[in-house]
């Protein structure tokens, strides 16, 4: 962020749902993150366990709010 602190950055690629990983990204100054396969695992989708994904999204959004508070 140092050279351009006014830029709002969205980190994508390799972002996990791990608390330490998310916290590190937000502490480094990102505005938001894009989470792909770690949030939408192929095996969970193949089994049609969409409720599990919904629950996990809610948990992660609540976690992120603790970093942004």
Domain boundaries, the chain: 10-68
Looking at residue 33, the DSSP 8-state letter turns out to be E
Please state, in angstroms and rounded to a whole number, the distance separating the CA atoms of residues 9 and 46.
Answer: 32
Q: Based on the number of CB atoms within 10 Å of its own CB, is 9 exposed (0-12), middle (13-18) or buried (19 or more)?
A: middle
Confidence band of 69 (pLDDT split at 50, 70, 90): low
Query: For residue range 33-51, what is the model confidence (pLDDT) as tens digits?
Result: 999 999 999 999 999 999 9
pLDDT of residue 7: 87
Find, among 36, 52, 55, the residue nearest to 44 by Cα.
Answer: 52
């Amino acid at each position: 962020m140092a050279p351009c602190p006014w830029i709002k950055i969205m980190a994508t690629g390799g972002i996990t749902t791990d608390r330490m990983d998310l916290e590190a990204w937000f502490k480094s100054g990102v505005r938001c993150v894009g989470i792909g396969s770690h949030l939408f695992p192929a095996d969970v989708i193949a089994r049609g366990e969409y409720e599990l994904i919904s629950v996990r999204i809610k948990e992660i959004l609540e976690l992120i709010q603790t970093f942004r508070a």
